[in-house]
Structure 1
Amino acid sequence: MSRKALFLAGFAVVASSATAVYVLHEAPPAALRQQGPAVDTAPIAAGMKDLLATYRKIIVLTAGEATPGANEREQANLVGRELFHENQERQAKLDGALARLAASNNPRRHEALDSLLDQVESDPSLFDADRLAYRELLAGLQGELAKDSSLRAIKLHKRVSEDLDALAEIERNYDKEIRAVFGRFDTRAIQLKREKWDAYVAHLQTLYQRERILKDYGVVLPYPPRPEPAEPPAPQQKDEAEIFGTALPKKTVVLTFDDGPHRRYSAEIAAILKQYGAPAVFFNVGRNLGEIDKAGQPRLNAGAQVSRKLMADGYAVGNHSFTHAQLSKASGDALKAEIFNTDALLKAMDPHRAQLFRFPYGARSKEGMGYLASAHLTSVMWNIDSLDWADPVPSSIADRVLNTVNKEGRGIILFHDIHERTVKALPAVLDRLVAEGYRFAGWDGSTFKVPSTETAPVPRAAATGYASSWAIVVGIDSYPKWPRLQYAVRDARGVSEMLIQKFGFAADHVFTLSNEQATRAGILAAFHDRLAHGGMQANDRLFVFFAGHGATRKLSSGRELGYIIPYDSDPDSFDTDAIPMTEIQNIAESLSAKHELFVMDACYSGLGLTRGRSDSSFLRDNARRLGRQMLTAGGADQMVADGGPNGHSVFTWTLLQGLGGKADLNGDGLITATELAAYVAPAVASVSHQTPAFGSLPGSEGGDFVFELPPENEFLNTQTAQLSNDAIALNNKLDAKASAPAEPVVVKDLQGGERTIATPAPVPVSARQQAQRANDRGLQLYKEKQYAAAEAQFTEALKLRPDFALAANNLGFVYYKQDKFAEAARWFENAIKMDPSRAIAYLNLADAHGHAGDKDKAKAAYKTYLELAPNGSGAGYARQQLEQL
């Protein structure tokens, strides 16, 4: 499967499983190297080097933070935070300088920006992790370039976009390593360096020493005292004038977020917290909320709207000073203004703001504490530091928090709501905390405590949080002694592709057995050798799919026993050479994976399933409950309906449609096995003579297998495939039986009875997430040629996120398919304004103008497409159209 272009080390590579193509960053053509005064980029380049140097020092200070003594760790973190905020100021100045350069009239501005990007991409001294220091800087530059419609700016925008994709790849690589699953990557002609994180830190420690950094910032650590005879442990610190969190009840934590509000990340963090039913405190920096005018009156800005929404949603919002200065070094009116100005802004938002204050860096003084007392504010510190301000890798942040919580047993956790990495790390932290029985305390106006009637989380799946994903996929058509099947192998292949391409299962963890490979010995060896002895861990998941014959034998006791039929089974002796479901049950119980899901596209009964359970505390329970579940195509004496679209059985086609997104019944971007059954079972039963069944195998503790839907990022164009008419007709029938959220669904269990599944209610998500889900639904509807419904979904996505270029393009293409070419062109133009380097939007725009009869505009758009993607999939078509115009 092709990956995005990665621009690193000065050039790009587009890689697939078979080929790799080099694409050099081209120098500006002579015609574009216009005369004009040279741009002095030295100050910006120097600032970028300083940004990197400070980023590196922060990592040196905080790397291995658990090993030094408590005093050294505290001093290192204090200096590290100061360095971080220095870099925030430096970042703001660089953002401004780049914005001014991008907006200037100097004809050589693009040449100058090219040279600065060369510094990020081509400097041989940079490690992969170094480049993460420039991520936010590049994102800001991308936004500035979007305002310039010149071809050179568009090309630069494309280059920056590809650089950001490369940085995302670097983050994913380190994320995998830190999760201890760093392994073989697909071979490419050009590789990212992929240094191990420990090797990177070791390299930095040859450049900078922690002691020297501390000394430069006025800290000299004394020699450690001589060991003294052991004394009884000191009594636990109590929270009095200041709150540290050490007096909280055991297994109780307070979640706090500093330095906001952030126009995007604060809302996303709040949406995640709401999904877990977790209260929190957001400590705001006053200048992010507004200012105090000359008359002493508060003037709120757009940031205040973000915090006002947090308050309305029940979150406490506290004071984090006005400028984030180190208040231990301030005094008099300056110190007083830092506290009281922000308090005035918070009161202007809501007179009932939380009377809480957090000193920046934790640096406080007696005078500062006195001002807090006069303002009736309480100082809130922390005893669990995520170090998300220092650590660029989400999984490392999560591991640090969880390890510290495990050590402390309770406390106040410090996060920051100004980093994307915090948004990514938070679900993993919350999953583990709820799994281990921790409770979240909120501010009740006088203290932190867990509400007596703790808010139940919205029933939803936990973020998957699986360490590794495994699958065994079996498809048998060519039985030597059983009736041959037509679609089983294709069903298996379709499931394997779905798991790898959509859900990110590693290809070498998906074991596919077809026809003669799927003997009894081969299937059992896949379980015993490849899984049990292949490195499966307790936090992994296993998906098993079988497409082939099934059989049922009645025992002397009257109980029925089901079998799956391997390739080499004989109908006259299947009770000895087939695989009884009792053996599958034993295997399921013996494997160490947390969640296992068996999907059987075969009909039989007698599987001995037990009833699963579901309750309103699903989120808190699922992460710690084992899950052993099974979904089957039908019962005994029922024939599998093989006449589904695209060469699939009806059951597997419906399963794939469900996994494609239709089974996300509550729109949270996650599909549980229970949701999948609630979609598949009634839908299949409505269009065939099969009655699919669902339940839990013995040994299950009620856990639910979870699939996480990736966001769709396809820009619709003339090459986008749509479903065949028979597939659309079947989907219409299936969707007619689809359940509304929270509507109970009755399905068969394999004991012959019935069970009711309560489908989950919609969950609160951020506007950005809602927009993505609306776009994804629109894409599904477009492929089913439901243009009016697709148009409504893309429109909804743009209402929720007005700068959503993907949805704008897709809305334009829906108009295009309905021959509304003028409307289509307007939306393609909107998409280009939002994302100027998106080549496919220019191709769409050219087609729309061409059909509308505007040849000049069509020519211009085709030419721009070819400038951006001279070797793109539509390049030949674009050249052909230019010849005809």
Structure 2
Amino acid sequence: MLKRSRILLAALVVLVIAAAVALLWWRQGSAPAHPADTVAASKPEDAAQLQTAFAGVLAQYRQIIVLLADEKKQSEVERGYANAVARALFHEKLAASDALSSRLANIVAANQLGAVEKLLDYVESDPALFDADRLAFRELLRDLQAEVSKLGSLPAVKLHKRISDDLDGLAEIEKNYEREISQIFSRFESRAIVLKRERWDDYLAKLAKLYNRAQILKEHAMVVPYSPEKLAELDKLQRDNQSEGVGKGLPPKTLVLTFDDGPHGRYTEEIEAILQQYGVPAIFFQVGRNLGTIEGNQPKLGMHYRVARKLAADGFTLANHSYSHAQLNKTTGDALKAEVTNADALLKQVDGGRSSLFRFPYGAHSKEALQLLEDARLQSMMWNIDSLDWADPVPSSIADRVLRSVDAEGRGIVLFHDIHERTVKALPMVLDRLMAEGYQFAGWDGEKLALPKGKAKADAGAAVTTGYNQSWAVIIGIDEYSKWPRLQYAVRDAQALRDTLTSKFGFAPERVITLTNAEATRNGILSVFHDKLAHAAMQKNDRVLVFFAGHGATRKLSSGRDLGYIVPVDADPEKLATDGISMSEMQNIAESLPAKHALFIMDSCYSGLALTRGGNNYLRENAKRIGRQMLTAGGADQLVADGGPEGHSVFTWTLLQALGGKGDLNGDGYITATELAAYIAPAVSGVSQQTPAFGSLPGSQGGEFVFELPVETEFLSAGTNQLSGDAIALNNKLDAAAPAATTPTIAAPVASAPAAVVPDLQGKDRTIKAGPVIALSSRQLAQRANDRGLLAYREKQYAEAEEAFTEALKLRPDFALAANNLGYVFYKQEKFAEAARWFEKTIQLDASRAVAHLNLGDALAQAGEKKRAVQSFRTYLELAPNGAAAAHAREMIDKL
């Protein structure tokens, strides 16, 4: 009662003062200004902007609740991530509330009470608000009430009363919320009173429809990784199926030579000389104490380091074999760590590019030791063929043992020691026999086991699972026919495929023979096959791709059989039998090529060559079989559709998209010719009147031409190309018509490609399907997810790209590439604060990545954080002063 009496007295005083003021204004011939008029005269704060600011505080409040509710159902890792983000959100909410309170104070001081009234309308009755939401505004209302109480006008008194009623209403609402809200907010240093609420589960259910815990975390640069147990289970499955660590996952007749315990002052050099004589790569696992010592935590090289340095200089791989050759399954703690790190420190002094490989002495390891390797980003390599040269004193016996083991295993990693004279004597006996039997020898290219770079410049980075030595291509494109209708896009198609082969798949430019227009005469084309390729030292482990874009024709023979032709630039339509190149001649060419696998891709339409059914073989067995395959754009008398995007025929555009990754139907990182046809044929048929055909040429033994997709390493930025609207529209149609690719996941790491019905050139439908892929490791799955994200980004499918990059980070939390790319997806959607957090995360993972600093600068500039943006642009310029975006960075610094 006392409080109400004081309020009534104050109101009476205000009324008297207001009346006096009105009388004075009336006597002066002017009416008093209404509060609303005062607001207008003082450039009032926009009520809608205030409401937006209030909504921002509400969003933070809701997200905190979503993150921290149901903690018992979360794993320990999930709780840690949720707590970290919730605390950040809480402090952001405090800062936003403080800023909003200051704005409200200024509004009240300027007597802009109309804006305040509209704000109260929002808090009291906005239909989008739940009852519990209004508790987010309690502290703001209290601050507002305190400011309004400083005014003595009648409108202010009324407004004060309205705010008091609202606070009383909140007090009524909160009675049943004490337990639930205190569980959420009591962990923070909150300035507000403890909040309460009834029917809490209903409120959480409503919030769950508005917010997703994982999305909130993601927007704050956190992705909860898969559990270590799940990743370990996945990697074990991959090792069990592929056994890369012991060599069982290598292709048939592929070996890796390894030598332990060196360097030795004499025998290591003799072994290196033998390896160089035979042209065979090898991996040398070095014992640290043979390289030098560690004195005061500093490496000091000893007398044998020059031997190891020469190995590295000559192209051999150096790897870690511990410091003292201790039995590491019985070593723990600091002593275990020193065995790994001390040897690594000495190796760095010898060879800055030493490998990430590690071999446990005696093959003995423990869970702690394996975790130490993972933390140090080292990879264990064991063996499956043991020479036992450390125990057997007889060189011929050692050689015989190795050869018998190789015969039994068929592939693998061979263990020798470069510290015994008997090994020096046994090695030539082993190599003579193995090379005579056609074995190939793989080395380490920094990331994986690969064919030696010296053997095939074009395929230096190609994994040995393709089984190729060198890669050849004959690319033909004809637009300017003299006696046939002119074509528009054939030359451009040929040039695009040539560029794809050389830039993406490692075909050496000097082994890609290109004929366009006037060069593509009948004699010119045939001389390439019969002369250039015949005298180019093509070998049996090579591959060759033949692409023809131009006119094709079909003629009926007197026997009634159709015969197809490709049409050279100088062919006369009336003399096709002599001027054209028949499919019979192409078949003869295919059979005469010494290469293991040949693929003919014809962007022209014809028929008349009976093809056998496409192969259905696993990659592991592929190297054993000769492959001669052909893929055509369509059947007899069908017109090639030249209306594809970017000046390509529909067929070649689809081919380029398939080679860009869409043709990897089982998600294993390889595209076989069968997968290529399974994607292209139904896709092209679905958007045109063409019916592409596919099959194996006579003489083929079921081998598959294989493309290995390169690992995508592009950090998304403003310079990343995206497809045009027309290209995206066509790709959507192609994907709808083609079989849906199967994506290996952590739940199902072994995928199988979908089947497709594809006609052969006789018009008979055949069902083709590539074989299943063996299990992929978590790192491989992460890379494949990142690659899928890039494909989706280029087609502006941002939701799909976000999902793929998120999956990559769940599999590999330290994946800086995926972190940057996820940030750029947010950036493209104008979520600049979220993008900035991910760019900062990228920099934490890889501070030397200049593009991440550039992207961070752009995101911060868009978010209005000018000082931080300038610093990011300056860091970019320090790292890449002559980078592609250097001019942009300098321009932004001047602008900001």
**TM-score above 0.5:** yes
| 1:719–1:695 Cα change, 3 Å | same
- What is the aligned partner in structure 2 of residue 584 from structure 1? 586
Please list the CA deviations of residues 122-165 of structure 1 after superposition, one character each: whole Å capped at 9, or x if unmatched.
Answer: x9x9879439789779xxxxxxxxxxxxxxxxxxxxxx99x999
- 2:553 aligned residue: 551
Matched, 1:465 2:467: yes
- Partner residue, 1:63: 272
Residues in 2 aligned to 1:317 and 1:526: alpha-carbon distance in whole angstroms: 45
TM-score by length of 1: 0.57
Q: 1:65 to 1:480 in 2, by over 3 A?
A: closer
Residue 15 of structure 1 corresponds to none
Alpha-carbon distance change, 402 to 590 in structure 1, aligned in 2, over 3 angstroms: farther
**Corresponding residue SS for 2:359:** strand
Give the equivalent residue in structure 2 for 1:677.
Answer: 677
CA pair 284-380 structure 1, distance change in 2 beyond 3 A? farther
Tell me, yes or no, if the aligned pair for 2:554 and 2:562 is still in contact at 8 Å.
yes
Aligned residue in 2 for 1:782 = 793
Checking the alignment, whether the CA contact within 8 Å between 1:259 and 1:285 is kept in structure 2 is no
**Deviation readout 1:661-708 (Å, 9 max, x if unpaired):** 111111111111011000100100000000000001111111110111
* Residue identity opposite 1:62 in structure 2: I
Q: Counterpart of 1:644?
A: 644
Deviation by residue 1:366-392 (Cα, 9 ceiling, x = unmatched)? xxxxxxxxxxxxx9999778368879x
SS of alignment partner, residue 532 of structure 1? coil
Structure 1 751/462 Cα, relative in aligned 2: closer, same or farther at 3 Å?
A: farther
Q: 1:714 deviation in Å? A: 0.7
Matches within 5 A, 1:49-448: 54=263, 59-65=268-274, 85-87=286-288, 93=294, 97=298, 129-130=312-313, 259-260=359-360, 284-286=363-365, 288-290=366-368, 362=390, 386=414, 403=431, 406=434, 424-425=448-449
**Is the 8 Å Cα contact of residues 358 and 381 (structure 1) preserved in structure 2?**
no
Q: Residues 854 and 876 of structure 2 are in contact (CA less than 8 Å); yes or no, is this contact kept in structure 1?
A: yes
Report Cα offsets for 1:541-578 as digits up to 9, x if no partner: 11000000000001111110000000001111112111
* 1:611 corresponds to: 613
The SS at the match of 2:545 is: strand
- How far did residue 301 of structure 1 move? 5.8
User: Cα distance, 1:789 vs. partner?
Assistant: 0.5
Taking a change above 3 Å as real, the CA distance of residues 703 and 381 of structure 1, as seen in their structure-2 partners, is closer
Deviations 1:2-55 (A, max 9, x none): xxxxxxxxxxxxxxxxxxxxxxxxxxxxxxxxxxxxxxxxxxxxxxxxx99948
Q: Secondary structure at the match of 1:588?
A: helix
Larger radius of gyration: 2
Query: 1:819 is paired with a residue of what secondary structure?
Result: coil
2:854 aligned residue: 843
For residue 426 of structure 1, report the CA deviation from its aligned partner: 7.6
Shift of residue 759 of structure 1? 3.3
2:871, 2:492 → 1: CA distance?
45
For 2:405 and 2:296, locate their aligned partners in 1 and report how far apart those are by CA, in whole Å.
34
- Secondary structure (helix, strand or coil) at the match of 2:599 reads strand
Change (3 A) 1:97 1:610: same
Which amino acid in 1 is paired with 2:465?
A
How far apart in 2 are the matches of 1:548 and 1:53?
A: 59
Question: Shift of residue 637 of structure 1?
Answer: 1.5
Q: Which residue of 1 aligns with 2:892?
A: 881
Q: 2:601 aligns with which of 599, 605, 626?
A: 599
User: TM-score, length-normalised on structure 2?
Assistant: 0.56
User: Given the alignment of the two structures, is residue 533 of structure 1 paired with residue 535 of structure 2, yes or no?
Assistant: yes
Tell me the equivalent position of 1:514.
516
Do the aligned residues in 2 keep the contact of 1:599 with 1:630 (CA within 8 Å)?
yes
Please give the alpha-carbon distance, in whole angstroms, between the structure 1 residues aligned to 2:360 and 2:311: 29
**SS of the residue aligned with 1:484?**
coil
1:285 offset after TM fit, Å? 2.1
3-state SS of 2:775 partner: coil
CA distance in 1, matches of 2:830, 2:503: 33
Gaps of 5+ in 1: 1-50, 69-79, 102-115, 138-159, 172-256, 262-282, 292-299, 319-356, 366-378, 392-398, 429-460
Work out the CA distance in 1 between the residues paired with 2:371 and 2:679.
46
> For the structure 1 residues 56 and 790, does the alpha-carbon distance in structure 2 shift closer, same or farther, using more than 3 Å as the test?
farther
Of 809, 813, 817, the match for 1:806: 817
Residue type of the alignment partner of 1:509:
R
Q: What is the alpha-carbon distance in structure 1 between the residues aligned to residue 566 and residue 316 of structure 2?
A: 54
Over 3 Å counting, the alpha-carbon distance change for 1:421 and 1:660 in structure 2 is: closer
Task: Verify the 8 A CA contact 1:131 1:167 in the aligned structure 2.
Answer: no
Aligned pair in 2 of structure 1 residues 541, 360: CA closer, same or farther (>3 Å)?
Answer: closer
Q: 1:516 to 1:364 in 2, by over 3 A?
A: closer
Alignment-mate amino acid for residue 830 of structure 1: K
Aligned to 1:736: 736
Secondary structure at the aligned position of 1:496 is classed as helix
Deviation at 1:806, TM superposition (A): 0.9
SS of the equivalent of 2:766 reads strand
Asked if the contact 2:261/2:286 (under 8 Å) is kept, the reply is no
Deviations 1:807-830 (A, max 9, x none): 111111111111111111111111
Say whether the 8 Å CA contact 2:285–2:358 is kept in structure 1: no
CA 1:852/1:87 → structure 2, altered by over 3 Å: closer, same or farther? same
SS at match of 2:719: coil
Contact 2:262 2:286 in 1 (8 A): no
Counterpart for residue 216 of structure 2: none
* TM-fit CA distance, 1:583: 0.4
| Distance in 2 separating the partners of 1:764 and 1:660 | 22
Measure the CA separation in 2 of the matches of 1:52 and 1:857: 52
- Asked if the contact 1:289/1:304 (under 8 Å) is kept, the reply is no
Work out whether residues 469 and 505 of structure 1, in 8 Å CA contact, stay in contact via their aligned partners in 2: yes
Q: What displacement does 1:769 show?
A: 1.3
Q: Deviations over 1:275-306 (max 9, x none)?
A: xxxxxxxx6324x5449xxxxxxxx9667999
For residues 60-105 of structure 1, what are the alpha-carbon distances to aligned partners after superposition, in whole Å with 9 as ceiling and x for unaligned? 042245899xxxxxxxxxxx99x9553278589599648xx9xxxx
CA contact (8 A) 1:541 1:595 kept: yes
In 1, the alpha carbon distance for the partners of 2:685 and 2:585 equals 28
Deviation at 1:749, TM superposition (A): 0.3
CA-atom RMSD in angstroms: 4.7
Q: Is the 8 A contact 1:694 1:748 kept in 2?
A: yes
1:55/1:84 contact within 8 Å kept: no
* Letter aligned with residue 628 of structure 1: R
Match of 2:36 in 1: none
Q: Is the 8 A contact 1:746 1:755 kept in 2?
A: yes
Shift in CA distance, 63/90, structure 1 to aligned 2, threshold 3 Å? closer
**Which AA in structure 2 matches 1:540?**
D
Q: CA contact under 8 A between 1:540 and 1:594: conserved in structure 2? A: yes
Alpha-carbon spacing, 1:819–1:579, altered in 2? closer, same or farther (3 Å): same
Rounded Cα–Cα distance in structure 1 between residues aligned with 2:835 and 2:567:
54
The residue that corresponds to 1:721 in the other structure is 721
Give the match for residue 245 of structure 2.
Answer: none
Is residue 630–residue 697 contact of structure 1 (8 Å, CA) maintained in 2? Answer: yes
